Chains A and B, each alone.
Chain A
């Protein structure tokens, strides 16, 4: 631990909660978790034991947005164990991003049958990208965010002028974004049998989550056989 103290000598001190207390927002999560755990045990006493003692066997990989309003397990109303999940800003699957590539590789290793790329309406990342290309005033984007959003900003160029209605343009951009990530997944090494062998046919889907209705729908999908993605 002293090692980390030395590293932190030049760092700004973090803000600590009052000693011995957990912030209310977090205490609420811990309390709810405790009740949830008891509820599950009451319905299925063996659930946690079995979940822990078998390796996970999810059939679906969810590639989604970090947006707090799109928690995959709640939105699909499923128990733990169903959805292998990665979430980042604006549900990106970038070829050079080692984070998502590792997730997909591991998912293929787990013999997932479906990959769902899930975008959603009112996506903040897409909105920021569109405002940027249209020159609409917004809080300046921190460099880390600006860099991350480059692919979206490039996609948004197409919508610089039309449709004139911002919301319509945003919806079109969000769809384009989902399709682009879907295409990136198809072209990944993991789906070309490079580095990991596909043992189970996989279908890659484009899904859209409509925040205003709470409803998921499929836009498109592509089936991949054991031979992997072929252009």
Chain B
């Protein structure tokens, strides 16, 4: 890609060209878009630069309402996540996808830390944020011995945990209570293939894993 020094200039230029292309291909798109948004999907994903939701699903702006943070967390008492979900429900979202991914840096840091505690602790801001993931990582302190295998399992456990946390969201509880039909899904993005797949989906109080394993 472009030289790092000019990266912002190149982003602005690419944006300008993109805007022109869109206006040429779909005249009136932006004017229409500015009138309001009506996405049906909320994506709760990782801040990782390699997992941009609308690029990898090749959708136009206006499709996916999005929040992204380190290691795709939906913590139980997080104002940021809860306000996003609240707003998403208010504007008529029908599906919530919590999306984890392979090679997750947050998961790797946590697993490394449990297996060989670092000389330098994480900065406090990261320690606090990653503490739920650290707890999950404890389970894989010794087994499986292979780090890569353990990371795969931890990434999936993490998605499952956020999926479970979502069930407890006051906003979602209220929506279901009012009869709103909102489904929630746990997805995995495999970086080495560029592919999304569904792992978990809401079904009553049982979670059914996509591979066919019943709860």
Contact = CB atoms under 8 A, between A and B. Distances in A.
Contacts of B90: 139, 142, 145
B54 interface: yes
B11 A60 contact: yes
Contacts of A79: 1, 55
Interface stretch (A12-20, A153-161, A168-176, A179-187): A12-20
A59 B63 contact: no
Interface size class of A (residues with CB under 8 A): 35 or more
Given A36-B57, A67-B65, A71-B64, A97 B80 contact: yes
Nearest to B64: A68
A25 B41 contact: yes
Interface stretch (B12-20, B110-118, B139-147): B12-20
Nearest to B85: A144
Interface stretch (A98-106, A129-137, A223-231): A98-106
B183 A14 contact: yes
Contact of A34 (B7, B14, B87, B195): B195
Interface string A19-43: 1001101100110111111001100
Given A60-B11, A74-B61, A98-B128, A212 B83 contact: no
Interface string B26-55: 000111011001011100000111111111
A15 B52 contact: no
Contacts of B60: 74
A114 B11 CA distance: 12
B52 A83 contact: yes
A164 interface: no
B200 to A, nearest CB: 10
B61 A68 contact: yes
B195 A148 contact: no
A117 interface: no
Contact of B56 (A33, A103, A142, A196): A33
Interface in B84-142: 84, 86-88, 90-91, 94-95, 97, 102-103, 105-106, 123-126, 128-130
B8 A205 contact: yes
B123 A195 contact: yes
Given A16-B183, A53-B192, A81-B50, A211 B168 contact: no
Contact of B50 (A56, A72, A75): A56
A37 B55 CA distance: 10
Given A114-B8, A142-B90, A195-B126, 4 more contacts: A13-B176, A81-B49, A85-B49, A105-B123
Interface of A: 1-2, 4-5, 7-9, 11-17, 19, 22-23, 25-26, 29-30, 32-37, 40-41, 47-49, 51-53, 55-56, 58-60, 66-89, 92, 97-106, 109, 113-114, 116, 121-122, 124-125, 139, 142, 144-145, 147-148, 189-190, 194-196, 203, 205, 211-218
21 contacts: A5-B215, A9-B205, A11-B168, A15-B182, A17-B201, A23-B94, A25-B94, A26-B198, A29-B64, A36-B194, A49-B192, A68-B39, A77-B14, A81-B49, A88-B84, A89-B83, A114-B7, A144-B86, A211-B33, A212-B34, A214-B15
